[in-house]
Amino acid sequence: MFEEGTIPKGEKREAILEAALKLIAEQGLQHTPMSLISRHARVSAGGIYHHFESKEDLLQTLYQRIMQEMISAIVGADDPSQPLAKRFQTLWLSMFRYGLAHRQELVFLEQYESVPIHTEEACNDALGEEQTLNRLIVDLRAQELIKDLPLVIISELTYGMALKLAKQVHAGQVRLDDATLAEIAKACWDAIAR
């Protein structure tokens, strides 16, 4: 952490985002006021508002950044030359591994997505209609390989489950080996397959 006044100008915004992520993961969204974030980031209370109009703006920015980072990490494992079912399972496992490696981000996403300030618009801005996960589901649906359920339901039954399992691993509620993970990914596929 930097001392007040020693953070280079270009790094203040990042320090604020990092402080917000850490504090929200530790204390919860409702118990993390802007004053605490600015103090933890070692920027003045007024300085935080130079970078973000409001707490909602800060949270939406952090949400979009996390979603974009998560999707980039997951999509890196995608191989479009593979059969669609195999691609699905690969992306599912990548989603789980992301959640396992990024506990703070996982806690933040869960908290942010459960409050009224989280909007569908913010989610669409973060994900985009053409991102790989949605595109894969659309392709699977077009080929009539999966059930004709709304995208949000398919996502929750599959990728949402991957993140929930990662959360359970973090909490010490479950231990999963690679063979079990592969079985779970297949079970998620079976839940949506025709």
pLDDT exceeds 70 at position 119: no
Distance CA 47, CA 97 (A): 36
What pLDDT shows up at residue 84? Answer: 83
User: Within a 13 Å sphere around the CA of 183, how many CA atoms are in the beta-carbon half?
Assistant: 5
- For the domain with range 1-52, which CATH number is right: 3.30.565.10, 3.40.50.2300, 1.10.1530.10, 1.10.10.60? 1.10.10.60
For the stretch 38-50, pLDDT in tens is 999 999 988 899 9
**pLDDT higher than threshold 60 for residue 123:** no
pTM as predicted: 0.82
Residues with Cβ within 8 Å of residue 87, at least 6 apart in sequence: 78, 79, 80, 136
Mean pLDDT score, 160-169: 94
Q: What is the domain partition of the chain in residue ranges?
A: 1-52, 60-192
For 32-77, the DSSP string reads --HHHHHHHHT--HHHHHHH-SSHHHHHHHHHHHHHHHHHHHHHTT
Cβ–Cβ under 8 Å, residues 91 and 136 = yes
Predicted confidence band of residue 75 (pLDDT cuts 50, 70, 90): confident
**What mean pLDDT do residues 124-149 have?**
74
As assigned by CATH, the class of the 60-192 domain is mainly alpha
pLDDT in tens, 6-15: 677 779 999 9
Q: What would the two tokens of residue 94 be?
A: 């990548």
- Pick the closest to residue 181 from 49, 92, 86, 57 (CA basis): 92
Q: How far apart are CA 108 and CA 97, in angstroms?
A: 17
Using pLDDT thresholds of 50, 70 and 90, give the confidence band for residue 125: low
The predicted-structure confidence for 13-45, as pLDDT tens digits, reads as follows: 999 999 999 999 999 999 999 999 999 999 998
Tell me how far apart the alpha carbons of residues 42 and 15 are, in angstroms, rounded to a whole number: 8
User: Is there a contact between 96 and 181 (Cβ–Cβ < 8 Å)?
Assistant: yes
With a cut of 80, say whether residue 129 has pLDDT above it: no
